Amino acid sequence: MALTINFIDIDELNGKMTTHCWLNIRWMDELRTWQPQEYENITAIHLHASEIWTPQIKLFNAAGEDESFLVDTQAILTHEGQFLWVPPAVYTAYCNLNMINWPYDEQTCKLKIGSWGVSHINADYDKSGKGLDYDGAMQSTEWQIVKGSTQFVPQDYYSYLEYTLTVQRRSNMYTAIIYTPASCFVTLALSAFWLPPHMGGEKIMINGLLMIVVASFLMYFAQLLPVLANKTPLVVVFYSATLLLLSISTIVEVAVLYLSTAKHKRRVPDCLKKLLHGKLGSWLLLSHFRSEAEQQKDKSKEMDEQLYENDDYDQSETLDINPTEVPTSRAIQFEWSLLATAVDRVSFLAFSLTFLILAIVCRV
């Protein structure tokens, strides 16, 4: 017996593979031979399947009796007693799906075809030994057969032929539907950290809109993909992790908004000021920010120089003046805004690294 596949399709939600095929079955009957010269040189005749004995071919791993059927067609009998029966069949078998790499996944499904009344079936249909043929199969819109094999499996009672098919998903469309939006979500989520700290409302709104869109994608995946234990697609893991990171980012932006807009009466601790005005501030691109106190100090120096050039001006009057010694409320507010900006920059680096690790782990 050999199998010629015409078309395949996979029902992912129910874990079933439907195969449209032809069965090429040969067997010998020594009692049905004749001499062609005695019968006008007739070497072969056509007989209906109901008129002769035919093997009871069944799909052992069928998804249901009503979902697999074999069509009765005519058989060819040669004068040597060899029968050839090529019935079309539609088989629906259960398939153990592995959706981890969806939508770039490969699925391996098996057809276990045997007979209740035959203990041995030869998988080598002819001298070429080709028991499985899918070269002429009609191309599915989503699946492509990349590999196939045939094996005879002996059992104590009923033996069968096991046809193993490896199919690959055609996933060019999913790149535009899934991966392009994902890159846009990550870019927008990271760019929100570069907005000024007092624009916390806009940042929270951006994160909220992104969370709604990502949640919509997760609902789309729930409708499209089956629920499989321990085999969650990596794409779904990436989107769910992105939703969690957006939630954490919203909490960070709320804290940043509080730091930059609240009326602070105390100055930023000296240890944090040293970090902000040191190398850490340079690495975070904070060096170009100048506090109000520094600006007032520069203005006072300019005033001292101008007064020093005037002969009628007493220099002793300016020696005891230090307007920057007691910071104004605006200077204190600026220090906290600078700290809020630093939190944004550090969060940008942390989230960038997290998204990078997540993309590497969930790559398919």
Q: What is the pLDDT of residues 74-90, one digit of tens each?
A: 999 999 999 999 999 99
Q: How many C-beta neighbours within 10 Å does residue 156 have?
A: 5
Residue 119 CA to residue 159 CA, distance in Å, equals 6
| Higher per-residue pLDDT: 47 or 263 | 47
Nearest 5°: the CA angle 311, 315, 321 is: 145
Average predicted confidence (pLDDT) for the chain: 81
Tens of pLDDT, residue by residue over 53-70, are: 888 888 888 887 666 677
Sign, Cα dihedral of 214, 217, 223, 228: negative
Confidence of residue 230 (pLDDT cuts 50, 70, 90): low
The pLDDT of residue 214 is above 50: yes
Q: Which residues contact 19 (CB under 8 A, 6 or more apart)?
A: 5, 7, 8, 90, 91, 92, 93, 111, 165
| Distance between CA atoms of residues 68 and 91, nearest Å | 4
Yes or no: say if 121 and 159 are a contact pair by the CB < 8 Å rule.
yes
Q: Say how many C-beta atoms besides its own lie within 10 A of residue 177's C-beta.
A: 12
Q: With bands split at pLDDT 50, 70 and 90, how would you rate the model's confidence at 318? A: very low
**292-309 vs 329-361: helix axis angle to the nearest 10?**
140
User: pTM, whole model, 2 decimals?
Assistant: 0.73
CATH numbers and ranges of domains, the chain: 2-169 (2.70.170.10), 174-295+328-362 (1.20.58.390)
